[in-house]
């Protein structure tokens, strides 16, 4: 969030609706921005909307058109790519306004094609975000303590260490799950 240089009043699009995406959306909203989250999973869309965030299913509504409608045609000031999938990378350069910013949060272990012409033509900035700084943790703890971020909104299950294998099997079979914690 800090690396994005986000300012109140800006339009933010978050690609992906997992736990990190939702936290980005909630913190961005707290900072006074207009936030829309893109997520194809119906269960996650419902959770995102229940938290008061605008949400769109990119499979039902094209994300470029949805971003245009959301921003009144201006497009996004900041795009966070958090999905980690090729479709997210393919669309991320189509969503920012001229001189917009893209923050790459997702881990992409394999190279993905990126539309470099749009970086040139729209003078876009690509920002990589790999690690958190102590002040990032302090801000989230403060926002949670003050009630701006709902506690446990993304935790699907907490299990003892002895059940770790079962937890990984559950993750593989449950596309609606969000965050699984192991109690050590």
Please tell me whether residues 75 and 164 are part of one structural domain: no
What's residue 140's pLDDT? 86
Please tell me whether residues 111 and 166 are part of one structural domain: no
In DSSP terms, which residues pair with 182 in a beta bridge? 159
Q: Is residue 142 a part of any domain in this protein?
A: no
Domain containing 179 equals 154-184
Please tell me whether residues 15 and 77 are part of one structural domain: yes
What's residue 155's pLDDT? 83
Distance CA 8, CA 31 (A): 6
Is 105 in contact with 20 (CB distance < 8 Å)? yes
Please tell me whether residues 88 and 166 are part of one structural domain: no
Query: How many domains, in total, are found in the chain?
Result: 2
Q: pLDDT at residue 97 above 80?
A: yes
Q: 8 pLDDT band (50/70/90 cuts)?
A: very high
- 151 compared with 106, residue with greater pLDDT: 106
Please tell me whether residues 25 and 108 are part of one structural domain: yes
Is 69 in contact with 93 (CB distance < 8 Å)? no
Q: pLDDT at residue 122 above 80?
A: yes
Distance CA 84, CA 15 (A): 9
Residue with the two structure tokens 């993750």: 171
Is 2 in contact with 28 (CB distance < 8 Å)? no
Dihedral pair phi/psi, residue 13, rounded to 5°: -120, 130
DSSP of 106-175, one letter per residue? S--SS-----HHHHHHHT-EEEE-----HHHHHHHHHHHHTTSS-TTTTEEEEEEGGGHHHHHHHHHH-T
Q: pLDDT at residue 151 above 80?
A: no
What's residue 45's pLDDT? 94
Please tell me whether residues 94 and 183 are part of one structural domain: no
CATH of the domain at 115: 3.40.50.720
Please tell me whether residues 37 and 121 are part of one structural domain: yes
Please count the other Cβ atoms lying within 10 Å of the Cβ belonging to residue 113: 8
Q: What is the pLDDT of residues 15-72, one digit of tens each?
A: 999 989 999 999 999 999 999 999 999 999 999 999 999 999 999 999 999 999 999 9
Q: Is residue 145 a part of any domain in this protein?
A: no
Please tell me whether residues 60 and 8 are part of one structural domain: yes
Of the given ranges (6-10, 20-24, 125-129, 176-180), which has the lowest mean pLDDT?
A: 176-180
The pTM score is 0.91
Please tell me whether residues 76 and 6 are part of one structural domain: yes
């Amino acid at each position: 969030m800090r690396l994005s240089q986000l300012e109140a009043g800006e339009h933010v699009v978050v690609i992906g609706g997992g736990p990190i995406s939702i936290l980005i959306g909630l913190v961005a909203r707290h900072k006074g921005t207009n936030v829309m989250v893109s997520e194809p999973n119906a269960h996650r869309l419902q959770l995102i909307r229940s938290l008061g965030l605008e949400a769109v299913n990119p499979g039902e509504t094209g994300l470029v058109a949805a971003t245009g409608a959301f921003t009144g045609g201006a497009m996004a000031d900041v795009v966070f790519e958090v999905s980690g999938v090729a479709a997210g990378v393919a669309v991320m350069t189509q969503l920012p306004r001229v001189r917009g910013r893209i923050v790459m949060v997702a881990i992409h272990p394999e190279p993905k094609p990126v539309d470099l012409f749009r970086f040139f033509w729209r003078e876009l900035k690509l920002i990589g975000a790999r690690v958190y700084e102590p002040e990032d943790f302090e801000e989230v703890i403060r926002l949670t303590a003050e009630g701006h971020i709902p506690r446990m909104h993304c935790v699907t299950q907490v299990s003892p260490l002895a059940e770790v294998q079962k937890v990984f099997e559950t993750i593989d079979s449950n596309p609606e799950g969000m965050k699984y914690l192991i109690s050590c």
